Amino acid sequence: KQEVTQIPAALSVPEGENLVLNCSFTDSAIYNLQWFRQDPGKGLTSLLLIQSSQREQTSGRLNASLDKSSGRSTLYIAASQPGDSATYLCAVREGNKLVFGAGTILRVKS
Amino acid sequence: NAGVTQTPKFQVLKTGQSMTLQCAQDMNHEYMSWYRQDPGMGLRLIHYSVGAGITDQGEVPNGYNVSRSTTEDFPLRLLSAAPSQTSVYFCASSYGPPKGSGANVLTFGAGSRLTVL
């Protein structure tokens, strides 16, 4: 059974810092991995998708990497801003469903 | 284009009561799913559907029923509410199974917060 773990559970940084969020999964036979953002009281918004054959994807200040062999993905956020404050979740595809991690709560202080 | 609409946004039930959480999408999505989100546990899949008339169980289906009589609607029924079902429920949909690319990126509703006393 696929299990997805995210570390740290919470992170507080000053504005402008570069930061890394971690995601690990137990079964390396994944189809793809996605990173989502969730704002308080809202649903999830897809940020980045990495196919199993890819090593990284970039969107603006966000860069996600994937190392299937070690069962790890990282989300790198450059020059963090207060507007980046949210919960970040990673999820791997297993058949017709997604398996989610518990998320990292990020707070960027101005 | 309303996207994915969930009702109600908030609900309080007593143990043993039944209720239905509604989910509707206007994007002609074939794939629809229900997740519950609990603190420290992320989102867990309850039930999903790959098209009208087809449903399947997810990770935590016990205590919940679903049906998919139309493409647009995917209601989630709690048969006899228990305190363990206190959670935030999310409905999500996509054109096909959540492959994550293009049209198969999941669109989430805003959530329904349920408290069972």
pLDDT band at A101 (very low <50, low <70, confident <90, very high): very high
Query: Which pLDDT belongs to residue B4?
Result: 95
The alpha carbon of residue B19 and the mean position of all alpha carbons in its chain are separated, in whole angstroms, by 13
DSSP B109: -
With H, G, I as helix, E, B as strand and everything else as coil, classify residue A44.
strand
Using H for helix, E for strand and C for coil, what is the string for B47-84? Answer: EEEEECCEEEECCCCCCEEECCCCCCECCEEECCCCHH
CB-count burial class (<10 Å; 0-12, 13-18, 19+) for B58:
buried
Nearest to A64 by CA among A45, A78, A79: A78
A17 pLDDT exceeds 70?
yes
- Tens of pLDDT, residue by residue over A55-98, are 999 999 999 999 999 999 999 999 999 999 999 999 998 777 88
Give the whole-angstrom CA distance, residue B103 versus residue B30: 11
Distance between CA atoms of B7 and A68, rounded to whole angstroms? Answer: 39
Averaged confidence pLDDT in chain B:
92
Q: Name the closest residue on chain A to residue B103, using Cα atoms.
A: A46
B44 contacts A49? CB cut-off 8 A: no
Is the pLDDT assigned to residue B103 strictly greater than 60?
A: no
- pLDDT for res A30: 85
- What is the spatial distance between Cα B37 and Cα A101, in angstroms, rounded to a whole number? 11
Asked if residue A86 lies in contact with residue A37, where contact means CB atoms within 8 angstroms, the answer is yes
The enclosing H or E element of A96 equals none
Judged by CB atoms closer than 8 Å, whether chains meet at B100 and A42 is answered as no
Range name among A23-32, A100-109, B53-62, B94-103 with the lowest pLDDT average: B94-103
Q: What pLDDT, in 10s, does the model give residues B3-59?
A: 999 999 999 999 999 999 999 999 999 999 999 999 877 899 999 999 999 999 999
d(CA B16, CA B24): 26
Pick among A3, A44, A53 to test the B interface (most B CBs inside 10 A): A44
Contact B90 A45 (CB under 8 A): no
CA distance B85 to B63: 8
